[in-house]
Chains A and B, each alone.
Chain A
Amino acid sequence: MAIQQKDRARPAVPLNERLFRLDEAEGGIPVLLGWRCPDCGHHFFPHRTICPGCGHIGLEEVDLSRRGKVWTYTIAHQVPPGAIVEAPYVIARIELPEAVLVSSLITDCAPEEVRVGMEVEITPVKVREDEEGRDVLAFAFRPVKKPAKETKS
């Protein structure tokens, strides 16, 4: 994959500020911006103004969970025109605890290791550098690394 891991020492900006922000206190981890309906409580991603569940106008911005599960995925073997990825790469729909499905790449694992139901966490990936030399970051999800002692039982 052409995209790279973030170098935490470098200044960074999000590729799309409507989709996520970077949590500097956490070393620049992306935080997805969800939209919660104050009336019926449903969450949405990406941005909506009007709740499709109850019609309420004026949803509230909330941080979405950093961890989720792979709801479905595919291993793409052909790169569409204009995309910066290299084949093969994994496209997935990630189910977050807020009952939101997010389209994302899956990184940090071999494509054939991805499974439906796999636990994943958000991670930054570098898309390019901007004119000021800052890293422009997108978000992806990667498998949650289980502590070694958990695998014994």
Chain B
Amino acid sequence: MKNGRVAVVGVGLHPFGRFPDKAVEDLGREAALEALRDAGLSYKDVEAGFLGRVTQLGIGVGQRVFGELGLTGIPVTNVELACASSSRAVMHAADLIRSGAVEVAMVIGVEKMERGMLQPGGERSYQALLGLTILPGAYAMMARRHMHLYGTKPEHFAKVSVKSHKNAVHNPYAQYRTELTLEEVLNSRMIADPITLYQCCPTSDGASAVVLASERRARQLSNQPVYLTAWAGGTPIFDPDEPGLSEGPTALLARKVYQAASISPQDVGVCQVHDAFSPGEIFTIEELGFVKPGEGGPFVWEGGTEITGRLPVNTDGGLLSRGHPMGATGGAMITEIVRQLRGQAGPRQVADPKVGLVQNAGIGGVNVLAFQV
């Protein structure tokens, strides 16, 4: 532990949306330059690079994107964990810093996506042929199970989207910056009952960048460091008594992270969770231990996850409204937490948070990370 704690010293984004005229290298470069400026560092200070990405970008994307920033000879590693790629990349960078191998590392997350519904199973599989593998369908079935077990209502899920869109109005990097009423969300086109169109995240182009440093190095920089105090990732665990409602062991990882960081759910002042579809926020705040199983719906309905609520969640609009360029999403979640903990979130600032939590889920895996000032 010669490097001490791991700090996030710089964050940056390329706006999320549709940018047909920009290559992935352009998106990544702009996010990276913003993060380096934010850190007060130059690219020659970066000793290792990790790139989060998922689709269609070809071989060696990280080498190309980092190569745009300079040819300094650093090792660059591509990381893929579906929608949780760049948060996993941040965990690898943090492990490297904590090990003492390097003092400054940078993560870039990028994605350019086609319009329309993703088909994760591959179109030729048995399940895909029968239309069984749609992603909103997976969340919709979890939502239906939640409704059956706890009496959660479609309105509770819809309220997540209303809240997220309200938050995104104040986020200049967000893809959708228009408020929606509960009626507009509920009455939008049905995709997979109870999930309507406005409860689905969009496909997006975008990029995020996160610069991490040792505590020693962070103290030499002008920005207030935000410390990444604990992180844990995982894949599903076989449990015959509780068939999976989620992509991975979020509850177990959260307990590990709380213990490692010596915090409890009550200490968390701002939180980012994976809301690819609106029910995600309700399941996840339960799994993270903020409310008991089954209480997520009423908690959201009563405004508990609003910026002014007991537990502000997805203050930047979340995946639903900020957008979801898959490889960039984890870095964007971390960017928002860092800005909130520094008090730089402008009109969407939460009152004086000291601990921020990120939960980022990809198909078949999940990450939980705790940040503190």
Contact = CB atoms under 8 A, between A and B. Distances in A.
Interface residues of A, number: 36
A89 interface: yes
A65 interface: no
Given A80-B117, A91-B134, A99-B240, A72 B191 contact: no
Contacts of A77: 189-193
B346 interface: no
B192 A76 contact: yes
B126 A82 contact: no
Nearest to A85: B131
A53 interface: yes
B46 interface: no
Contact of B144 (A84, A85, A95, A116): A116
A81 B126 contact: no
A124 to B, nearest CB: 13
A75 B116 contact: no
Contact of B240 (A42, A71, A117, A138): A42
Interface stretch (B135-143, B161-169, B318-326): B135-143
Contacts of A84: 129-131
Interface residues of B, number: 33
Contact of A101 (B130, B190, B192, B243): B243
Contacts of B191: 76-78
A82 B132 CA distance: 11
A91 B137 contact: yes
B119 interface: yes
Query: Which residue among B123, B127, B144 has the maximum number of chain A CB atoms within 10 Å of its CB?
Result: B144
A16 B144 contact: no
A78 B136 CA distance: 10
A73 B142 CA distance: 8
A13 interface: no
B144 A72 contact: yes
Query: Which residue among A79, A91, A101, A127 has the maximum number of chain B CB atoms within 10 Å of its CB?
Result: A91
Query: Which residue among B126, B143, B190 has the maximum number of chain A CB atoms within 10 Å of its CB?
Result: B126
Nearest to A15: B126
Given A78-B134, A91-B132, A93-B141, 14 more contacts: A15-B126, A72-B141, A74-B143, A75-B190, A76-B131, A77-B193, A78-B117, A78-B191, A80-B134, A89-B131, A91-B131, A103-B132, A105-B132, A138-B126
9 contacts: A16-B126, A53-B240, A78-B117, A82-B129, A83-B129, A91-B141, A91-B192, A105-B131, A127-B130
